[in-house]
Amino acid sequence: MMYLYMTKTLTAQHLVEVNNLKQYFDINTGFFRSKSLKAVDGVSFNIQEGETLGLVGESGCGKTTVGRSILHLYEPTDGEIWYKGKEIKTEKDVAGFRQQATMVFQDPYSSLNPRMTVADIIGEPLDVHKLTSSKKERKERILDLMDKVGLNSEHAARYAHEFSGGQRQRIGIARALAVNPDFMVCDEPVSALDVSIQAQVINMFEELQDELGLTYLFIAHDLLVVRHISDRIAVMYLGKLVEMSSANEIYDHPLHPYSKSLISAVPVPDPRIARASQRIVLKGEIPSPLNIPSGCGFRTRCPYAIECCAESVPELEEVHEGHFVACHRVDEIN
């Protein structure tokens, strides 16, 4: 497979490398029987230092599970996760990795402990990893983190429920920054916020990246948000990557039928262009991950599906420089 070959030969240039990641969950189907739910099934990609890789797809496609599996919040079923040229395998590897890689969660309302003050929430990673040597140093570090994310120092003694959604997410971001990470998994960090607040938080992510040299895996379903912040975009469907390229290339020249449908649904601010553009509406419902169709998982909704699409799973292959697509008919339909 061309893409896996590329990741093997260019490992030294990558901060994060994921090879053939699989995450299966055993689901009880009754009468002492169980079935594997393939939430993530053979996903491979890499992220360069200082880059933002956007990961998009419908709800339930497995994108959040990818982020959690990379950080070993879920123990991966199979596959390799490399960080700075070293594979993360043992408990010691994971412990060290989590001092350099953190996560910003989707829901700022449930991801913060309501019984802890803002200072204690942000300071918890400092305590866990023993990153400060005195109470004074701990307090200074907390206040510095609050300042970085736009929170006032007098907020330190207050509780999370006293803040708005945008402020709560800033607390969560400050907590993620506490260990001075190089890599952050951002799991739909603005989807629960008002549109006006989303822009502020996205801009803050970009400013923090420039200031601290951060690398992001940015998980979202809003393609406008993802295009704004991402250098490259990877599109997921039913646990697999179906397309990956630069943000502008994916947005302007999508090649996979699923990507085309996603892009066609993005609102266009110019009414003349919006009227001229044609929405590509997919037929049918997304299949259950417990009963994924044979061959290409997208074939039951794809207008271009033919017999070969049911017979084998398409590999993610490079069709143009830096543009990877998993589709048997990509050359015929574009």
Position 296, amino acid: C
Angle at alpha carbon of residue 324, lines to 209 and 222, rounded to 5° = 50
Q: What is the pLDDT of residue 5?
A: 34
Q: What is the pLDDT of residue 275?
A: 65
Assigned token pair, 228 = 């704004």
Q: How far apart are CA 224 and CA 250, in angstroms?
A: 12
Q: What is the pLDDT of residue 276?
A: 64
Buried b or exposed e, range 3-26, using 16+ CB within 10 angstroms: beeebeeeeeebbbbbbebbbbbe
Q: How far apart are CA 7 and CA 16, in angstroms?
A: 10
CATH code given to domain 3-100+181-253: 3.40.50.300
Across 315-326, average pLDDT: 94
Q: What is the pLDDT of residue 273?
A: 64
pLDDT tens sequence across 181-216? 999 999 999 888 888 888 899 999 999 999 999 999
Q: In this structure, are strands 232-237 and 215-219 parallel, antiparallel, or unpaired?
A: unpaired
Percent of the chain with pLDDT over 90: 67
* String of DSSP letters for 198-246: HHHHHHHHHHHHHHH--EEEEE-S-HHHHHHH-SEEEEEETTEEEEEEE
Q: How far apart are CA 61 and CA 64, in angstroms?
A: 8
Q: What is the pLDDT of residue 32?
A: 78
Whether this model's pTM surpasses 0.85: yes
Assigned token pair, 28 = 């009880």
Angle at alpha carbon of residue 52, lines to 163 and 89, rounded to 5° = 95
Q: What is the pLDDT of residue 9?
A: 38
Sequence spans of domains, the chain: 3-100+181-253
The better pLDDT of the pair 110, 268 is held by 110
Band (1; pLDDT cuts 50, 70, 90): very low
- Checking if the pLDDT of 11 tops 50, the result is no
pLDDT tens sequence across 35-88? 889 999 999 999 999 999 999 998 889 999 999 999 999 999 999 999 999 999
The better pLDDT of the pair 291, 242 is held by 242
- Checking if the pLDDT of 333 tops 50, the result is yes
Percent of the chain with pLDDT over 70: 93
Helices vs strands, H then E, count in the chain: 13, 12
Q: What is the pLDDT of residue 52?
A: 96
Q: Are 156 and 117 in contact (CB under 8 A)?
A: yes
